[in-house]
Amino acid sequence: MAAAELVAYVAKSLVDDPEAVTVEVVEGEEGTIIELHVAESDMGKVIGRNGSVAKALRTLLKVTAARNGEPVSLEIV
Protein backbone atom coordinates (compact mmCIF):
# COMPACT_ATOMS: atom_id res chain seq x y z
CA MET A 1 0.00 0.00 0.00
CA ALA A 2 1.39 3.39 -0.98
CA ALA A 3 0.10 5.11 2.16
CA ALA A 4 1.98 2.72 4.45
CA GLU A 5 5.19 3.20 2.49
CA LEU A 6 4.77 6.97 2.73
CA VAL A 7 4.33 6.81 6.51
CA ALA A 8 7.38 4.55 6.86
CA TYR A 9 9.53 6.84 4.72
CA VAL A 10 8.59 10.00 6.63
CA ALA A 11 8.96 8.31 10.03
CA LYS A 12 12.38 6.89 9.18
CA SER A 13 13.49 10.36 8.11
CA LEU A 14 12.46 11.85 11.45
CA VAL A 15 13.79 9.38 14.02
CA ASP A 16 17.26 8.59 15.37
CA ASP A 17 16.74 4.81 15.09
CA PRO A 18 15.21 4.10 11.65
CA GLU A 19 15.63 0.33 12.06
CA ALA A 20 13.08 0.40 14.89
CA VAL A 21 10.37 1.84 12.65
CA THR A 22 7.72 -0.67 11.58
CA VAL A 23 4.41 -0.10 9.86
CA GLU A 24 1.47 -2.51 10.02
CA VAL A 25 -1.66 -2.26 7.89
CA VAL A 26 -4.84 -3.47 9.57
CA GLU A 27 -8.09 -3.72 7.65
CA GLY A 28 -10.96 -2.59 9.88
CA GLU A 29 -14.70 -2.23 9.43
CA GLU A 30 -14.43 1.51 8.88
CA GLY A 31 -11.40 1.42 6.59
CA THR A 32 -7.69 0.82 6.78
CA ILE A 33 -5.72 1.51 9.95
CA ILE A 34 -1.98 2.10 9.65
CA GLU A 35 -0.10 1.38 12.87
CA LEU A 36 3.27 3.10 13.18
CA HIS A 37 5.68 1.60 15.71
CA VAL A 38 8.80 3.54 16.70
CA ALA A 39 11.38 3.30 19.47
CA GLU A 40 10.25 4.75 22.79
CA SER A 41 13.00 7.39 22.66
CA ASP A 42 11.79 8.57 19.22
CA MET A 43 8.11 8.84 20.12
CA GLY A 44 8.34 12.58 20.77
CA LYS A 45 9.91 13.24 17.37
CA VAL A 46 7.11 11.44 15.55
CA ILE A 47 4.35 13.11 17.56
CA GLY A 48 5.93 16.57 17.63
CA ARG A 49 5.12 19.57 19.76
CA ASN A 50 1.38 19.57 20.49
CA GLY A 51 1.00 16.75 17.96
CA SER A 52 2.01 18.86 14.98
CA VAL A 53 4.05 16.15 13.22
CA ALA A 54 1.40 13.49 13.82
CA LYS A 55 -1.24 15.87 12.48
CA ALA A 56 0.84 16.49 9.35
CA LEU A 57 1.26 12.73 8.82
CA ARG A 58 -2.49 12.23 9.12
CA THR A 59 -3.08 15.03 6.59
CA LEU A 60 -0.72 13.34 4.12
CA LEU A 61 -2.62 10.10 4.63
CA LYS A 62 -5.95 11.76 3.93
CA VAL A 63 -4.62 13.13 0.64
CA THR A 64 -3.22 9.73 -0.35
CA ALA A 65 -6.42 7.95 0.68
CA ALA A 66 -8.58 10.39 -1.29
CA ARG A 67 -6.98 9.08 -4.48
CA ASN A 68 -8.02 5.52 -3.62
CA GLY A 69 -11.41 6.47 -2.24
CA GLU A 70 -11.04 4.54 1.01
CA PRO A 71 -10.75 5.90 4.56
CA VAL A 72 -7.33 5.55 6.19
CA SER A 73 -6.34 6.39 9.75
CA LEU A 74 -2.99 6.49 11.53
CA GLU A 75 -2.20 5.18 14.99
CA ILE A 76 1.20 5.82 16.52
CA VAL A 77 2.09 3.00 18.90
38-76 pLDDT, tens digit each: 999 999 999 999 999 999 999 988 888 888 788 899 999
> Could you read off the pLDDT of 24-40 as tens digits, one per residue?
999 988 889 999 999 99
| pTM exceeds 0.75 | yes
Residues 67 and 50: their CA atoms lie apart, in Å, by: 28
How do the domains of the chain map onto residue ranges?
2-76
Q: 2-76: which CATH number, 3.30.750.24, 2.60.260.20, 1.20.1530.20, 3.30.300.20?
A: 3.30.300.20
pLDDT on residue 1: 65
**Percent helix, strand, coil in the chain (nearest 5)?**
55, 25, 20
